[in-house]
Every structure is written in C-alpha cells, then in structure tokens.
Amino acid sequence: MDEKEAQKEILRLRREINYHNYRYYVLDSPVVTDAEYDRMLRRLEGLEARFPGLIAPDSPTRRVGAAPLSAFGTIRHTTPMLSLGNAFTQEEAREFDDRIKRLLKCATGTKIEYAAEPKMDGLAVELIYEDGVFTKGSTRGDGYTGEDVTQNLRTVRAIPLNLLPAIRDTGVKPPAYIEVRGEVFLPLAAFRKVNKEREARGEPLFANPRNAAAGSLRQLDPRVTAERPLDIFCYGVGMVEGASFKTHFESLEYIRALGLKVNPMVRVVEGIDAALEYHDTVEKKREGLGYELDGVVIKVNGLALQERLGTLTRSPRWALAYKFAPRQESTTVKDIIVGVGRTGALTPVAVLEPISVGGVTIERATLHNLDEVERKDVRVGDTVVVQRAGDVIPEIAGVLKERRPRGKELEQFRMPDKCPECGSTVERVGALHFCTAGLLCPAQLKESIRHFASKRAMDIEGLGAMHVDQFVDAGVVKDVADLYYLKKEKILKLERWAEKSADNLLNAIDKSKRPALERLIYGLGIRGVGEHMARVLADRFGDLKSLMEATIEELLETYEIGPETAQSIVDFFRERHNREVIRKLEDAGVAFPKKTREKRGTLAGKVFLFTGTLESFSRDEAKALVEAEGAEGATGVSKKVDYVVAGAEPGSKYEKAKEMGLKIIDEDEFKKMVGRQA
C-alpha cells in the first residue's frame, strides 16, 4: 500500500471508529461487537505505525499516550463560566420565580418556561471545537481563566474528537467554532473501584466522586486520567459561530445532534410548580442512576429573556440550582472496632446505632486510620453526623461535640498494640498501622486469598468470601497455592458442600491455571502493586522469573515505579514464604506466562539514552515521550542503545557513545521523532 492509499484508508477507519465510539459512549447503543471495534483500531494503529507522517492529533489512536506535563497552561474563557445561585427549599425556589416575574414585569398568573436539568456533581469544563475537531479543553478555574486540560479530556471516551457531522453525513455542517460547557464526572462504579485500588496500595482515599473526578482530570500525566473512566454531560453553549438559537433547550438539542452527550432527563417545563415537581421526580430517580446528582438546575428557557435578566457578578439571574436534601443523619457511636485488611493494615470502624440515611440503613462507618479518628475526635458514646459519600461508603462527617454527655469523660480511641485477629505485634508506618504477622495472620490470609481469586486477578469463579473463611478455618488452605491442591474428598467433609458444587469449584480452579501475567502479578498482592502497576511490571519484565530477580535499580529504571514500590517488590520476592508459595503454584501446574513487549507506537522496540540538558523537556518527560511511542529509556551506554539524545553540556556518556559509534542525535532531531517539532 502506498502513502496515498494509506491516507484514504486511515481517514475511512478514523471516521468509522469515531462513529462507533459515539454509538457506544454517547448513545449507549453499539452497532458492532467489541472485537470488530478492536480490529479496526488495530488496523488503524498498524497503518499509522507504518506511515507516522499521517498521524493526526484527532486520531482515535491518540486518545491515550500523550506525555506528562510539568504544569498546565492556562486558557481564558471568551465568556465567563459562571456559577449558580442555590435554593434548598421550595420557598426559596418560588422566590427565584417571583423575582424573575417581577424583573420581567409579567402579568399575574404568567408561567415562565423553564429548562429543567439534573445538576451533575463533577467538575465543569469547556470544550472547543473548530470545524468539527476538538482542539482545546479547559477547567472552569476562577470562571475567567481555566487550566488547559486538553490532553486529559482527549482520554474521555464520551467526548468526541470529531463532531458527528464531521464523520457522518447528518445533513448539517459542523459549526466553524463552538464552545460547549459540560460536567465531567466519575460514575459511581468507577469511583468505588478507584478507591478500592487506592486502599490496596495504602494511598489516601477520595472523599467522593467529585474529588475523584477532579483529581483524575487535573493530572499532569494523561495516562493516569486515561485509566479512570470519566464521563461527561454537556449542559450549555458558550460562543458559537455558524448556528443560532432562540431557547436554551434548542441549543442543547443542537449539541446533541453534533454528537455530544446531553443528559436524557433534560426537560422543558411550564411554570415553577412543574419545575418543583421535576425536582422531586429526579430526586426519586437519584439512587439508580450510577452517577451523583446534587440537585436540579432550573433555567429560564428563552434566550432573549435570559439576556433581559442579565447576570450578577458570579451567577446569572436566570438560573438556579435547587439542591437535594443532603444525605446526612445523626446517630450514636456504639463501639469502635478494628479490622485487618489484606496488607495487614488496621482500619478503625465505627459501629453505629443503625440509622436510615436516604433510604439506606447504616450500621458502620469506616474511620480509615488513626489520624482520621484523632482529627475528627470520634469517641465511643459520641453523637455523630453520618453521610453517604459517593452514594455508598458511609462516612462520619463530624462529631456533635455539644451532645457529648456532660460530666462524663468519653475515652479517647487508641489503636491496639496487638493485632485484634492474631495477637501479633502492630507496627506503625506513616499514617497506617500494620499487623506484622503477614500471612500467618488468618485475617490477612483470608483477604489475600480472596484477592488472589478475585475477578481481576486469577478469576476463580464461585470461590466466595464465605468459602475462603471456611477453608482457612478448617485448615485446608494455608496459602494461595493450596487452592490448587484442594481434594474433592476434603471439600465434601466440610459443611454445605455437595458433589456438584465441589466439582464446579475444582473446575473453576483448574480453569484459572493460565492467567495473563499481569493478573498473576496483581493477584500476588504485593504492597503498592495495583492493577496498573501490575501491567507496567508485566510489560517491563515479560515474565515472573525476571521480575522476581529484579534489583531495586532495575525497577527504578521504569518511569512509573517509585522507590517505595520498588522496595516493596524486592522485599516481597525476598521473603522465603512468598518464594515457596510461587514454587508451589508452579508445581501445581499454574502456567507462568510470558508477556511479549507491546510492539506498538512509532518507536516500538527502540532504546533511547539521554545525556546533557534538554531545552524543552526534563529527562523524565523525554523518557515518557519515547515510552508513549513504544520505546524505552536506558540509563547507561550499551550496544542496546539505538539513539543517544545529546542536550547541552553532555557528559561522559556522550564521549563513550561516540567511541562506541552509537547514533547520536540532537534535541531538534529528537523533537521531530516524537512529533514535537516547534
């Protein structure tokens, strides 16, 4: 295929893929299978790798892989991104309606036409499309200037890189220029998953999905953003060239026709009564949506009327956020118990007088760690305010100190110095306390087996938490490898097992013997190694044996591995017990697969060495750039190095490379190779 044919095919594939992306992420109604979609994407990747000159920033292959930044640029909003006045009660909402009618000098009995919308609880962004292509995206910032988060927004699949009329004949032309405003959010399922992973790594948890969305979007490394399945609903239009509207609702219909995602619950209602009813209807649906709402937004629908009403400094007079009642209640703390997790981390949990919060009964709330208990000063006997953050995880918002019984001192919580599960010594590491018994502690053992068998690790179907408890308590499973030595007769001796269920379980265990390398690594439960890190390690080391023998220095050579994780990996494999378990796994016939390095990207398989000071990038940035294109950064001069990139004042490595006759390039040449020419 020559370049011209490739160009044609690439354009066709991009349109096709973009369209299927729209069907999947915006309409939620795909018309091809995942496999077909993947095939198209692979084919496009292949062609772009062969003809790197044809790569364009709006290609669907470019969603991920942009290099980390050292800081965000700023973008000035052409029209300010305002915030909204709030109402918490029906009276306040009626006052808003009265004020509007007064300002517009309406005859008594007039009903104002409102657009009524769910108020998503995320982070406001502005997307700019020029001739149908997504060119810039920013956060709200202070309303006038926001941060340039274009690369991160590109990773959000529900944000089209090309507007629909630019990829399909829809009978309309894409506007020459349009600013679209919307709310980026993290769906609840993804929020829970992110927090679970953070917990496993001992990292601080996000308090709610909004913080998680903000943390994900305001990431200097777009690859981290790409791993969080952010979503968006668009709710407004800023400046636009090539289209005009009479009502706000019309503008939403217009952007919907452009392929942007608009919340399906948006309505036009007549008069405030209907708007109040809308509020109540949406509040009832709130639980089942899979994402957080914190109220509804009521907007005067007519744009001419909006114009007449005008805006105050920070918020328009024509719109109102009518919030839902906060899901908070007060109750008393009956006890503070301490649980032990997979990594041995001790977690204080408040046992509460059961209370219903927004229809869900809450009996426990996590207190995360000792610092948190001390900061909030929660004590047994206290009256506390509990809230449901992110819809699920109950949390203690604060203590009602004035309700503390007078004259009777409540005892301060103390972390036990012995593990509540096994009695071993407890050790403090940073904010966390750990049981030091490792897998000899039955609580840790159970959690680690559950983790090993879980869907995203070895995926042993049908091995539930209760079974794990049963096997460990009966002493038939003492480590994860024992699962592969389970005998049917032994299982049948335990309560509630029958021929059929035992057969099913043994089959499932057998089926799990050929895991992908990253799942096996993740399943081992190394502290600091979540799913993402497991993938990084699998890519970098290719098989378990090489990873087991890796030194700290070798681990640190990989861009994403920090000193703490490197240490924890080395410690894990140094531990005799762990090596023993791995040997037992191998003996039982668990395959230790190899992973071939991903040969994707324009620089696939190449090795780069940097020496001297580069003008436009830090060493880490340059390394990340080549890694994003499938290449690798080296730390020393060797024959494996394909390119030595020499910046200003290169050191001894430069001399050595020259001696060895390696290919040396300067910063300009390097920039061309990674598509960063000025």
- What residues are annotated to the active site? 119
Residues 164, 134: contact at Cβ < 8 Å? no
CA 336 vs. chain centroid, Å, equals 31
Residue 641, both tokens: 């190095």
Question: CB nearest ligand IVH: which residue?
Answer: 124
CB of 388 to ligand IVH, least distance (A): 19
**Shortest CB 268 distance to ligand IVH, Å:** 14
Enter the tokens of residue 270: 């007549």
CB-nearer residue toward ligand IVH: 120 or 357? 120
* Contacts of 667 by beta carbon, 8 Å cutoff, 6+ apart: 614, 615, 616, 645, 646, 647
Longest pairwise C-alpha distance within the chain: 91
Distance, in Å, from the CA atom of 194 to the CA atom of 227, rounded to the nearest integer, reads 9
| Shortest reach from residue 165's CB to ligand IVH, in Å | 24
Provide the minimum distance between the beta carbon of 276 and ligand IVH in the complex, in angstroms, as a whole number. Answer: 17
Written as six digits, the tokens of 215 are 């943390």
Say which residue the tokens 């470019």 belong to. Answer: 62
Q: Which is nearer to ligand IVH, 96 or 413 (CB)?
A: 96
Write out the two tokens for 204: 């601080």
CB of 292 or CB of 629, closer to ligand IVH: 292
In which residue are the tokens 């299927």 written?
A: 20
Query: Strand, helix or coil at 4?
Result: helix
Residue closer to ligand IVH, measured from CB, 312 or 678: 312
Give residues with Cβ within 8 angstroms of 141, minimum separation 6. 74, 77, 81, 147
Least separation, in Å, of the C-beta of 301 and ligand IVH? 13
Q: In angstroms, rounded to a whole number, what is the distance separating the alpha carbons of residues 62 and 152? A: 11
Nearer to ligand IVH, 183 or 667 (CB): 183
* Distance (Å, whole) CA 196 – CA 203: 10
Residue 511 one-letter amino acid: K
Comparing CB distances to ligand IVH, the nearer of 117 and 447 is: 117
- Pick between residue 116 and residue 468 the one whose CB is nearest to ligand IVH: 116
Q: How many whole angstroms from its chain centre is CA 251?
A: 30
Q: How far is the CB of 293 from ligand IVH (least distance, A)?
A: 8
- CA torsion 431→221→530→606, rounded to 10°? -130
Which residue's CB is nearer to ligand IVH, number 75 or number 84? 84
Say how far apart CA 335 and CA 373 lie, in whole Å: 13
| Residue 319, phi then psi, degrees to nearest 5 | -135, 155
Nearer to ligand IVH, 308 or 532 (CB): 308
Question: From the CB of 122, what's the least distance to ligand IVH, in Å?
Answer: 7
Report the C-alpha gap between 156 and 217 in whole angstroms: 10
> Could you say which DSSP state residue 26 is in?
I
CA 206 distance to own-chain centroid: 11
Contacts to ligand IVH by CB under 6 A:
82-84, 117, 119-120, 124, 140, 183, 235-236, 297, 316, 319, 321
CB 252 within 8 Å of CB 262: yes
- Shortest Cβ 235–ligand IVH spacing (Å): 4
Q: 384 CB contacts (<8 Å, ≥6 apart)?
A: 330, 331, 332, 333, 350, 352, 365, 378, 396, 397, 398, 399, 400
DSSP string computed for 456-523: TTT--TT--HHHHHHHHHHTS-SSGGGGGG--HHHHHHSTT--HHHHHHHHHHHHHTTS--HHHHHHH
CB of 82 to ligand IVH, least distance (A): 4
**75 vs 569, beta carbon nearer ligand IVH:** 75
Provide the token pair at 102: 């007064």
Alpha-carbon distances of 129 from 11, 70, 74, 133, 152, rounded to whole Å: 19, 25, 17, 5, 16
Alpha carbon distance 622, 633 (integer Å): 9
Find the shortest distance in angstroms from Cβ 319 to ligand IVH. Answer: 5
